[in-house]
Amino acid sequence: MADSSLPAVKGLLEYLFSLHRFGIKPGLERIESLLAFLGNPQQSLKCIHVAGTNGKGSVCSLLAGILQSAGYRVGLYTSPHLRQFNERIRINGEMISDADIASLAHIMMPEIEREHTTFFEVTTAMAFAYFAKEQVDIAIIETGMGGRLDATNVIEKPVATVITSIDFDHTEYLGNDLITIAGEKAGIFKEGCPVIIGEERSELIACFTSHASEKHTGEVFVVNDLCSYTNLTMHSNLTMHLDCTIGERQFSQLSADRVGEHQARNILTALLTVKSLQPHFEIPDHAIRKGIAECMHLTGVKGRIHVLSTSPLIILDVGHNTACLRRLEETLASCGYPNHAWEIVFGVMKDKPIKEMLEILAKMGMTVHCCTPHIERAMNAEELSVMAQAQSINAMHHESVGKAVEYAFQKNNPVLITGSFYVADEALQALEQYGIQH
């Protein structure tokens, strides 16, 4: 949570976080009521709407970096945050101020209390209201969960709807098979609005194109059909270079400040989205290059296989499912970091596929330091350690994320922190005592 110069803001944020007690309540009735109370600010915005399981935050930030490099005023709404609530709502990389949070929260409070609105619904309404007030040229909106019943799906006429990689997540709400989950994500498609499909599996692409046809969307752009990359070179500082082809357009030796084949795919998805925006926005090549090369600096969105320190080597990743951890393992190997090299600080939510995640970590780490972040959904560290040891992993548990980080840090080996945004937040707090910032 943000340290605030306004004493009232801390209490307001604590109240907003307390709305988690209402849990996840799929449906648009409460968010529609709240936005109507605010005068429907979302209707004044040009929006790009992005859904998926993995990669949607990266695609959102790539688009934001490119568009602001082209001279536009860009709103960016992502979740969750790493260190402070304000990170979720940004304009050209600058976080919403405490004063604006306080002002908007006070305005919404009667309706929040009347409707028992959830935390994500409130933050979504706050983002729309803030972007409208600040008159952004375009707002890039990441779904929270799913699509059809996600609070962000009040956008009536987006300039583009984007689908990233699909995987199993929130199955109790979205379904137990990938086709059903894809159908929920496709709920963001709107009549007459372009669709960009970054998912690469043919059966899921067919599912999305079928939904697009049923919705009578605008043109459908499929990364598999229109895009490719070659000459991908990954570097030990976790950056990369690659050549990209997007339709008839070619970009040679693009520099990217995020690394991995999955990020190459995210770049293609972002570039194809840029192609779809041509009727609305002028985006020159130099803006594309800068937006990709300096994405983290421009947008402030970090935590995706991110180097915190080179001496000692500390890498942070917010990946929180098996697909993310597989990509983490593959990417670190491609950047020259061997398996069995890491002191791994690991915490995870109870509803994740923990056994499968541990199987991946077993190949990567010297020791897995199990910890429990301060959230009710988190797996108990001692139980996590027992599960790891049952898989012949050298594991130990710690009383807190901070203690796990301190112990791993003192081993004088490379440190890898992963498993959850919540773990990342508490780990970054612990690392501040060593002068390490994110």
Residues 201 and 321 in one domain: no
pLDDT bracket for residue 182 (50, 70, 90)? very high
Does some domain include residue 2?
Answer: no
| Spatial CA neighbour of 89 closest among 125, 113, 45, 118 | 125
Residues 295 and 351 both lie in one domain: no
CATH at residue 384? 3.90.190.20
- The half-sphere exposure of 70 on its side-chain side, counting CA atoms within 13 A, is 22
Under 8 Å between Cβ of 83 and 294: no
Rounded Cα gap, residues 1 and 16, in angstroms: 11
Q: Are residues 255 and 389 in the same domain?
A: no
Same domain as 310, residue 295: no
Q: What are the b/e assignments for 402-418, b being 16+ CB within 10 Å? A: bbbbbbbbeeebbbbbb
Q: Answer whether residue 174 is part of any domain.
A: yes
Q: Is the pLDDT of residue 25 over 80?
A: no
pLDDT at 23: 63
Tokens encoding 411: 């081993």
Within this chain, do residues 203 and 139 fall inside the same structural domain, yes or no?
yes
Please choose, from the candidates 344, 348, 354, 351, the residue with its C-alpha nearest in 3D space to the C-alpha of residue 396. Answer: 344
Higher pLDDT residue, 429 or 339?
429
Q: Quick one: DSSP state of residue 153?
A: G
- Decide if pLDDT at 424 tops 90: yes
pLDDT tens-place string over residues 195-217? 999 999 999 999 999 999 999 99
Which of 270, 299, 328 is the last residue before a domain boundary? 299
Task: Tell me what the mean pLDDT of segment 350-378 comes to.
Answer: 93
In angstroms, what CA-CA distances link 166 with 150, 182, 184, 208, 407? 16, 7, 11, 11, 36
Residue pair 55/165 in contact by the 8 Å Cβ criterion: yes
What confidence category does residue 340 fall into, taking pLDDT thresholds of 50, 70 and 90?
A: confident
- The residue among 271, 299, 327 that closes a domain is 299
243, 385: one domain:
no
The DSSP call for residue 437 is -
Instruction: Sheet with 395-397: list strands edge to edge.
Output: 306-310, 313-316, 415-418, 342-346, 365-370, 395-397
Q: What is the CATH number of the domain that holds 196?
A: 3.40.1190.10
How do residues 145-172 score in pLDDT, each as one tens digit? 888 999 999 999 999 999 999 987 665 6
Q: Are residues 314 and 263 in the same domain?
A: no
The CA–CA distances, whole Å, from 387 to 125, 382, 417 equal 40, 9, 19
Domain termination residue (choose one: 280, 299, 318): 299
Q: For residue 99, tell me if it sits in a domain.
A: yes
Label residues 160-199 b or e (16+ Cβ within 10 Å = b): bbbbbbbebbbeeebbeebeebbbbbbbbbbeebbbbbbb
Bridge partners (DSSP) of residue 244 are 229, 251
Residue 186 reports pLDDT greater than 50: yes
Using pLDDT thresholds of 50, 70 and 90, give the confidence band for residue 259: very high
Lowest mean pLDDT among 124-128, 234-238, 318-322, 358-362: 318-322
Pair 292, 328 in one domain: no
Q: For residue 97, give every residue at least 6 positions away whose Cβ sits within 8 Å of its Cβ, in sequence order, or none.
A: 86
Q: Do 367 and 234 fall into the same domain?
A: no
Considering the domain architecture, whether residues 291 and 350 belong to the same structural domain is answered as no
Amino acid, single-letter form, for residue 69: S
Structural domain includes residue 218 = yes
Q: Give the chain's mean pLDDT.
A: 92
d(CA 71, CA 159): 18
Domain that holds residue 80: 7-299
pLDDT, mean of residues 97-126: 92
Q: What is the distance of C-alpha 421 from the center of its chain?
A: 10
Question: Per the domain annotation, does 234 fall within a domain?
Answer: yes
Domain count, the chain: 2
Q: Name the band, by pLDDT with cuts 50, 70 and 90, for residue 420.
A: very high
Determine the residue type at 287. A
pLDDT(5) > 60: no
The model's pLDDT over 50-77, given as tens digits with 9 standing for 90+, comes to 999 989 999 999 999 999 999 999 999 9
Region 111-132 average pLDDT: 94
- In this structure, the answer to whether residues 407 and 313 fall within a common structural domain is yes
The whole-number pLDDT of residue 177 equals: 87
Residues 331 and 376 in one domain: yes
pLDDT at 201: 94
In a domain, 222, yes or no: yes
pTM of the model: 0.91
Q: Is residue 46 part of a domain?
A: yes
